[in-house]
Structure 1
Amino acid sequence: MTGTTRETVQAYHRARFAGDVPAAAALLDDTFVFRSPMMTSDADGHLAGLPGFLQVVTGVDMISELYGDTEATLVYDVHTVLPMGTQRTAEHFRLRDGRIESITLIFDATPWHPVPAAAGSA
């Protein structure tokens, strides 16, 4: 099952950072939940935010990929055009029946706190 986990998570990661929302959505379970230091959402909410997020991303450098039978953890740097620049990120995936049922994003959100406030005042 580790091969399937690896293939699914890598396909999701590629689709998401390529902005291919339909391809990313196809890999999510019906009960999908996304959690980060800044928000919690279902699949619709998570996918709706991807285009806006990708507008500020200039690149991603993978640091580590760890895969188990029904879980995976990716550690990577996200390069942005925002003042915080590069964000070190860990992302934990849980899968059920070959589809992603949850993603937990782990990063220091402190530099991001002004971003939603600035977007709301624009």
Structure 2
Amino acid sequence: MTSPALDVALAYHRAWTGGDFEKAMTYVADDIVCETPSGRLEGAEAFRGFMGPFAQILTGSNLLSAFGDETTALLMYDTTTIPVASAPGAELVTVREGLITRLRIVFDRAPFDAARKAAVSGS
């Protein structure tokens, strides 16, 4: 079952998890507001600065579930990255006129913290 917001959220998700971050950014509004575990970001360039580096270390993704209606969508997924084998995350997306205007990202930071600690103690 699809909806307008879910269609946009899935297209965005497929693009950035498929290695085409520039295409993913075409679904993002210039004035996007993004809530992240480390704080609020405003504007497409701030969002690019946050998401771009993560997309570069991504090696795989498994979409676990996705739901949506006219204006909102919720995606839950698990990612594989260079430093972390399993990093679950979720995104609550608001879509207006075909673009993502608001995004709330929730992810488990513990695997990344553990990888950083292991890298420091191993050096």
Fold shared, TM-score > 0.5 on shorter chain: yes
The answer on whether the counterparts of 2:78 and 2:89 sit within 8 Å (CA) in structure 1 is yes
* Partner secondary structure for residue 53 of structure 1: helix
Contact 2:86–2:111, Cα closer than 8 Å, also in 1? no
Q: Which residue of 1 aligns with 2:35?
A: 35
Aligned-CA RMSD value:
2.2
Residue in 1 aligned with 2:21? 21
Query: Residue 49 of structure 1: CA displacement?
Result: 4.0
Asked if the contact 1:61/1:77 (under 8 Å) is kept, the reply is: yes
Name the CA distance, whole Å, in 1 between partners of 2:78 and 2:47.
20
For 2:25 and 2:56, how far apart are their aligned partners in 1? 19
What's 1:112 paired with? 112
User: Deviations along 1:23-48, whole A, 9 cap, x unmatched?
Assistant: 22221123201221124323112223
Which runs of 5 or more structure 2 residues have no equivalent in the other structure?
Answer: none
Query: Is the 8 Å Cα contact of residues 66 and 72 (structure 1) preserved in structure 2?
Result: yes
SS of 2:73 mapped into structure 1: strand
For the 8 Å contact 2:78–2:88, the answer to whether it is kept is yes
3-state secondary structure, aligned to 1:40: strand
Aligned length: 114
Q: Does 1:54 find its partner at 2:74? A: no
Kindly indicate whether residue 81 of structure 2 is the aligned counterpart of residue 80 of structure 1.
yes
Displacement of 1:22 in angstroms is 3.0
Whole-angstrom CA distance in 1 between matches of 2:39 and 2:85: 21
* Aligned mates of 1:10, 1:17 — CA distance in 2: 10
Identity %: 29
CA distance in 2, matches of 1:5, 1:25: 16
Deviation of residue 111 (structure 1)? 3.6
Cα drift, residue 50 of structure 1: 3.8
Partner in structure 2 of residue 69 of structure 1: 70
* CA distance in structure 2 between the partners assigned to 1:97 and 1:52 by the alignment: 27
